[in-house]
Amino acid sequence: MNLKGKVAIVTGGSRGIGKGIAIELAKAGACVVINYKSNDMAAEKTMQEIREIGAYALKIKGDVSDYEFSKNLIKITVEKLGKIDILINNAGISKVGLFMDATPSEWDSILNVNLKGAINCSHNAIKEMIKQKSGSIINISSMWGNVGASCEVIYSASKGAINSFTKALAKELAPSNIRVNAIAPGVIDTEMNSWLTEDERESLVSEIPMMKFGEVEDVGMLVTFLASENSKYITGQIITIDGGMQ
């Protein structure tokens, strides 16, 4: 895939899936803006790894659930790099537990980051993309947004909403040559799964037809494809990458 000359923003881009996406975009030649909320060390490390590839990287700290920050994220990107071609709405949080035990502040937090974060960034990015009559927005959903997960009810709801948001926005922006797609990962081997015991990992692996967790690179390569001209007729799709688990 060739993304040389393209400018990409990856929200939640310092660790896990976001980092994998940022690095794959950089390998394809894109200039990458890494957005992150708090972990300065992780953001710096990701930025340095991208620069070692020979690509350009910039880090911008802030919370995408805040509309004014999201507006500023796009503004700074355009001021420094001249445009935005690709927006990856990856920032997300989860909390495992029974819905009956969840508190309003917990579900507000999940919905604000997972759903409002994507809405905030997209709302500001499309104003620039419409000017240039091109762009690609890729929302990172989850297989639980497709089928729902016990003990992750609000997380599942937020990702299901992302899927509907993706399909609706794709229809609205298609005449402006802006494509909107979502990727719904299954179990990806990241820090988010570090709480699993060895027995729990083995049990989870046994439920996956391919008998292994996915890697962040798997998601990153799919993002790169969807952001490239190779997928120029693909929009409004929710693409699941889960090793056949569903």
The catalytic residue positions are: 155
Say if residues 180 and 235 touch (Cβ distance below 8 Å): yes
Write the DSSP string, 163-207: HHHHHHHHHHHGGGTEEEEEEEE-SB-SGGGTTS-HHHHHHHHHT
Helix axes 16-27, 40-53, angle to 10 degrees: 20
CA atoms within 13 A of residue 228's CA, in its CB half-sphere: 18
> What's the rounded Cα separation, in Å, for the pair 129 and 111?
25
> What's the rounded Cα separation, in Å, for the pair 116 and 179?
19
Q: Give me the numbers of helices (H) and strands (E) for the chain, helices first please.
A: 9, 7
Q: DSSP state, 111?
A: H
| Overall residue count recorded for the chain in this entry | 246
CA distances from 33 to 37, 50, 129, 156 (A): 13, 10, 16, 28
